[in-house]
């Protein structure tokens, strides 16, 4: 870690969750609760075509018959779906602002505070950003430049209006609305999110990024992201998330679908820092996320990298369906839980095509009284000749009151499949801390250094600009856990 990072750490340590502020802004919400009227309200607000409303209502009727999946190693009170607002927009967003001069200055200030300036010239060099505030997309930067290459990067709402054919073809094609109750819920009430289409043969020249922010109280955020990489194309996409500190739990149930056609590659990175709740376990985001990628074509590749430090509850399994022959799926994960956080996260790799390969690197770090579970499923279907998987799950425990669990499932219907699995659990060793401190590092710096070292294999998969951010985030998440 360099001196800048240490400096930043000092600054951060004065404020435990620095994104916990609330923006005072008039917002517009329907009545609380989930019913057909709420869905009609959302669809109307989004000026959606009739087919989209029908799609939503169809998902809603499925949801009504479903129960939440209960197999995860998580405990939380029953979610009251009728006590949640399903849509919240800063007032006056009926029409999406054409440029930044039409955006409420308070919103711009909020994003500046979060370190996400909307003005293009200030945006991290070479990163195009789509920003979602509660339920609506606020601004997409660098749009013009991307359009020249034929790349479509806009909010999903806009895509439904402007590119209905692509949406109809792909939306719900990887995560069917009836997959499980959270995907049905999302399909019924999703509000905004990003849409990306990379045309054939185009390598997207910059990182595409979405920033999600939950501001309004008692509001769920149900974003939907759809990324399609056409033949021979490449895109790297990053999402980041924060939310204000609130005593109540807030629900976040996102769906992300990726489709990689022949020879295409999608790299999807997440830095998730939703409000985790306080030291006593009060408040925090319930994060029930479904992320799934389809390697549809030959030689395609989908790579998920996630750094999960926030949320009271994380339920998330970014997965790959390796349908095309020779396709590759990767999952790199760092999950840190502190205080009373609970994380049950991992991946699913489904090998369908010949010579498909998957790689799973999971690093779980548990501190305080938290529980951290890796759950993974690797399956080889009958036709998956010579498919391979490599899985490595490492857990690091800090203190005596936390828990780390590893639950790997393997299912092989093809005897040519090769599976390697390595797992380890370790504790931060007192001798290591003594050694670091004897060189002048504080206890917290030493833990942070060791944990960052433990995660390095995953952090280095992140795009450069964000690797440093992620390192800082890792350090912040460890606060108050030692000493």
Partner 1 sequence: MFLEIKNLSVKIENKKILKSLNLNINKGEVHAIMGPNGSGKSTLANVLAGKEDYEILNGKINFKDNDLFDLNIEERAQEGMFLAFQYPVEIPGVNITPFLHSAINSKRKRLNEDEIDNLSFAKLLKSKASDLGINIDMLKRSVNTGFSGGEKKRYEILQMSILNPDLAILDETDSGLDIDALKIVTDGVNKLKTKDNSFLIITHYQKLLDYIKPDYVHVMVNGSIVKSGSCEIAAEIEKDGFQKFQ
Binding site for partner 1 (CB under 8 A): 1-3, 6, 429, 431-432, 434-443, 445, 449-450, 452-457
C-beta closer to partner 1: residue 143 or 456? 456
CA dihedral 186, 187, 190, 194 (to 10 degrees): 100
Q: What minimum distance in Å lies between the beta carbon of 423 and partner 1?
A: 16
C-beta closer to partner 1: residue 35 or 432? 432
CA distance 286 to 249: 7
C-beta closer to partner 1: residue 42 or 404? 404
C-beta closer to partner 1: residue 7 or 80? 7
Rg of the Cα atoms in the chain: 22
Q: What minimum distance in Å lies between the beta carbon of 430 and partner 1?
A: 9
C-beta closer to partner 1: residue 11 or 80? 11
C-beta closer to partner 1: residue 54 or 422? 422
Q: What minimum distance in Å lies between the beta carbon of 451 and partner 1?
A: 9
Buried b vs exposed e over 421-460: b needs ≥16 C-beta within 10 Å?
Answer: eeeeeeebeeeebeebeeeebeebbbbbbbbbebbeebbe
C-beta closer to partner 1: residue 413 or 443? 443
CA distance 338 to 473: 13
Q: What minimum distance in Å lies between the beta carbon of 445 and partner 1?
A: 6
CA distance 302 to 464: 19
Q: What minimum distance in Å lies between the beta carbon of 438 and partner 1?
A: 5
Q: What minimum distance in Å lies between the beta carbon of 422 and partner 1?
A: 14
> What strands lie across the sheet with 234-242, from one edge to the other?
136-140, 127-133, 207-213, 234-242, 265-272, 301-308, 328-337, 357-366, 388-397, 418-427
C-beta closer to partner 1: residue 173 or 432? 432
C-beta closer to partner 1: residue 112 or 429? 429
The answer to whether the beta carbons of residues 299 and 266 sit under 8 Å apart is no
C-beta closer to partner 1: residue 80 or 460? 460
Q: What minimum distance in Å lies between the beta carbon of 11 and partner 1?
A: 14
The answer to whether the beta carbons of residues 247 and 215 sit under 8 Å apart is no
Q: What minimum distance in Å lies between the beta carbon of 262 and partner 1?
A: 37
Beta bridge partners of 292: 257, 319
User: How is residue 45 written in tokens?
Assistant: 């607000």
C-beta closer to partner 1: residue 204 or 449? 449
Q: Which residue has the tokens 């849409």?
A: 195
Q: What minimum distance in Å lies between the beta carbon of 453 and partner 1?
A: 3
Picking from 207, 205, 352, the residue whose alpha carbon sits closest to that of residue 267 is 207
Direct distance between the N- and C-terminal alpha carbons of the chain, in angstroms, rounded to an integer: 21
Beta-carbon count within 10 A of 100 CB: 15
Picking from 458, 392, 394, the residue whose alpha carbon sits closest to that of residue 428 is 394
The answer to whether the beta carbons of residues 352 and 382 sit under 8 Å apart is no
Q: Which residue has the tokens 């425990």?
A: 397
Q: What minimum distance in Å lies between the beta carbon of 405 and partner 1?
A: 22
Beta-carbon count within 10 A of 54 CB: 12
CA distance 343 to 206: 32
User: How is residue 237 written in tokens?
Assistant: 């996409």
CA distance 134 to 138: 10
Q: What minimum distance in Å lies between the beta carbon of 399 and partner 1?
A: 16
């Amino acid at each position: 870690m360099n001196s800048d990072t240490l400096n930043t750490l000092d600054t951060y340590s004065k404020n435990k969750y620095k994104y916990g502020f609330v923006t005072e802004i008039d917002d517009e919400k329907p009545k609380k609760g989930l019913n057909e009227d709420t869905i009609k309200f959302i669809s109307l607000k989004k000026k959606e075509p009739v087919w989209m409303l029908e799609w939503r209502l169809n998902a809603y009727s499925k949801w009504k018959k479903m129960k939440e999946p209960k197999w995860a190693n998580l405990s939380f009170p029953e979610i009251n779906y009728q006590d949640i607002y399903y849509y919240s927009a800063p007032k006056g967003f009926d029409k999406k602002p054409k440029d930044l001069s039409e955006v409420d200055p308070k919103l711009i200030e909020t994003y500046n505070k979060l370190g996400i300036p909307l003005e293009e010239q200030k945006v991290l060099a070479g990163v195009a950003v789509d920003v979602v505030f509660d339920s609506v997309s606020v601004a997409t930067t660098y749009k013009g430049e991307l359009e020249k290459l034929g790349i479509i990067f806009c909010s999903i709402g806009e895509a439904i209006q402007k590119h209905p054919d692509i949406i109809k073809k792909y939306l719900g094609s990887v995560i069917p609305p009836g997959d499980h109750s959270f995907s049905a819920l999302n399909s019924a009430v999703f509000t905004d999110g990003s849409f990306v289409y990379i045309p054939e043969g185009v390598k997207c020249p910059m990182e595409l990024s979405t920033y999600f922010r939950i501001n309004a109280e008692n509001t769920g955020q149900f974003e939907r992201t759809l990324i399609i990489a056409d033949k021979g194309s490449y895109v790297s996409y990053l999402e980041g998330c924060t939310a204000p500190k609130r005593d109540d739990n807030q629900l976040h149930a996102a769906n992300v679908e990726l489709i990689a056609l022949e020879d295409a590659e999608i790299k999807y990175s997440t830095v998730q820092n939703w409000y985790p709740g306080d030291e006593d376990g009060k408040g925090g985001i319930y994060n029930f996320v479904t992320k799934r990628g389809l390697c549809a074509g030959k030689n395609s590749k989908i790579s998920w990298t996630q750094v999960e430090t926030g949320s009271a509850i994380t339920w998330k399994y970014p997965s790959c369906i390796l349908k095309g022959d020779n396709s590759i799926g990767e999952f790199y994960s760092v999950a840190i839980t502190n205080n009373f956080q609970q994380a049950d996260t991992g991946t699913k790799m489904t090998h369908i095509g010949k010579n498909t390969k998957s790689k799973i690197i999971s690093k779980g770090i548990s501190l305080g009284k938290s529980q951290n579970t890796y759950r993974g499923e690797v399956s080889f279907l009958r036709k998956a000749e010579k498919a391979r998987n490599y899985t490595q799950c490492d857990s690091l425990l800090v203190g005596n009151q936390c828990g780390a669990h590893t639950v790997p499932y393997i299912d092989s219907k093809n005897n040519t499949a090769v599976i390697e699995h390595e797992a380890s659990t370790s504790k931060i060793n007192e001798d290591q801390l003594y050694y670091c401190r004897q060189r002048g590092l504080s206890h917290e710096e030493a833990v942070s250094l060791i944990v960052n070292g433990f995660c390095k294999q995953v952090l280095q998969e992140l795009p450069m600009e964000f690797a440093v951010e992620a390192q800082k985030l890792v350090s912040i998440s460890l606060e108050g856990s030692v000493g």
